[in-house]
């Protein structure tokens, strides 16, 4: 659902840019509370994983494909504020390096794909885990529903922005029907990917899933005909448990998805571009500012073999995203540590 330059006029693009900047500023502050010594190194990996999976377009209808948006996945794994930053980093890398999503439309894309999806998904997720049984399975069920609903809500948000600042004269009813219809189908794919990923992490390291914190039910023992809480086993502190294996496995998976599996992704246009072409929304689309970049179109310039070109571009994208994302989250984590230390010293005085 990457919106190109020219779909939305300058005033609305500027307004969404301001909104996106405000959301990022708030998220930077909020991420300090969400990130700790275990999850901070993983946040950059989550961004890289979302980048890699977004390269895997899957067919949803005749001549139409879809791909992960990632807002629900990021919010549940590392927290809503950190999730907004993860998806924003992905969108920035895609726009600058791969000419995917307009640069003047960056505010539109961050508002739609990062802010809307995260807010909707996390609100639905938290609401469901409060009413579902306190089990790990409930987290995966809530993840599925949250991801499923986040995608058509993003389609609604784009429709609203188009109603305010669309550059072509297409009846808004047609845009709404087409966008929501196809993105409900894409939402199913989003839900499956999100559910499987969250479930896999919970099965290995539930302590690393932000949305699963505090949801475990104590083990019960039957003594004298009554159920009582079992003694809590002594384990190593969560902070002492290494995340290297999870980080390494996640990075290898992202590299394989982007570098190998992406070659077999659907070549059909995604839901937005299909609707834009069918309805005439793309009549005033402008060339991307990075069209001449060496990685434009997810291929390495001057490499004729499509498999090698696309795979290498995917590997470069994953590597760049994990480095940039990890750097940002390391700085955010450091600022939290420094702020906490300063406050502790002030109280001691």
CATH of domain 10-217+242-339: 1.10.1760.20
- Give the pLDDT score at 273: 96
The answer to whether the CB of 291 falls within 8 A of the CB of 99 is yes
- Give the pLDDT score at 231: 55
| 164-182: burial string, b at 16+ Cβ within 10 Å, e else | ebbbbebeeeebbebbbeb
Secondary structure string (H, E, C) spanning 52-94: HHHCCCEEEECCEEECCCCHHHHHHHHCHHHHHHHHHHHHHHH
**Would you write out the chain's pLDDT as a tens digit for each of its 349 residues?**
899 999 999 999 999 999 999 999 999 999 999 998 778 879 999 999 999 999 999 999 889 999 999 999 999 999 999 999 999 999 999 999 999 999 999 999 999 999 999 999 999 999 999 999 988 899 999 999 999 999 999 999 999 999 999 999 999 999 999 999 999 999 999 999 999 999 999 999 998 999 988 765 554 556 666 655 555 444 444 444 678 889 999 999 999 999 999 999 999 999 999 999 999 999 999 999 888 899 999 999 999 999 999 999 999 999 999 999 999 998 998 876 555 545 545 554 4
Query: How far lies 257's CA from each of 77, 183, 342, in Å?
Result: 19, 23, 43
pTM of the model: 0.89
- Give the pLDDT score at 52: 97
- Give the pLDDT score at 334: 80
- Give the pLDDT score at 37: 77
The answer to whether the CB of 112 falls within 8 A of the CB of 94 is no
Q: Distance (Å, rounded) from C-alpha 206 to C-alpha 200?
A: 9
- Give the pLDDT score at 226: 65
Q: Distance (Å, rounded) from C-alpha 144 to C-alpha 198?
A: 9
The answer to whether the CB of 20 falls within 8 A of the CB of 110 is yes
- Give the pLDDT score at 40: 81
């Amino acid at each position: 659902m990457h919106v190109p330059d020219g779909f939305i006029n300058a005033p609305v693009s500027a307004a969404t840019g301001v909104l996106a900047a405000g959301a990022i500023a708030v998220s930077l502050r909020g991420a300090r509370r969400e990130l700790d010594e275990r999850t901070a190194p993983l946040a950059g990996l989550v961004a890289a994983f979302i980048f890699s999976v977004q390269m895997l377009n899957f067919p949803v209808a005749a001549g139409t494909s879809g791909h992960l948006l990632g807002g629900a996945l990021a919010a549940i794994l590392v927290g809503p504020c950190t999730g907004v930053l993860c998806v924003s980093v992905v969108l920035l890398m895609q726009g600058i390096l791969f000419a995917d999503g307009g640069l003047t439309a960056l505010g539109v894309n961050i508002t739609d794909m990062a802010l809307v999806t995260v807010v909707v998904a996390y609100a639905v997720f938290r609401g469901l885990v409060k009413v579902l049984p306190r089990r790990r399975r409930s987290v995966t069920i809530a993840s599925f529903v949250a991801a499923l609903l986040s995608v058509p809500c993003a389609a609604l948000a784009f429709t609203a922005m188009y109603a305010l600042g669309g550059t072509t004269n297409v009846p808004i009813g047609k845009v709404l029907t087409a966008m929501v219809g196809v993105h409900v189908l894409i939402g199913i794919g989003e839900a499956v990917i999100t559910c499987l990923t969250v479930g896999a992490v919970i099965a290995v390291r539930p302590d690393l899933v932000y949305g699963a914190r505090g949801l475990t039910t104590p083990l019960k023992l039957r003594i004298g005909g009554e159920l009582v809480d079992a003694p809590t086993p002594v384990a190593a502190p969560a902070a002492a448990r290494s995340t290297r294996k999870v980080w390494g496995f996640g990075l290898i998976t992202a590299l394989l998805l982007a570098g190998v599996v992406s070659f077999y992704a659907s070549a059909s246009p995604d839901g937005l571009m299909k609707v834009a072409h069918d309805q005439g929304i793309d009549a005033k689309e402008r060339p991307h500012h990075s069209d001449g970049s060496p990685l434009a179109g997810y291929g390495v310039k001057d490499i004729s073999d499509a498999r090698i070109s696309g795979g290498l571009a995917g590997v470069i994208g994953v590597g760049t995203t994990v480095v940039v994302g990890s750097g940002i989250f390391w700085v955010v984590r450091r600022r939290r540590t420094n702020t906490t230390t300063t406050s502790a010293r002030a109280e001691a005085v």
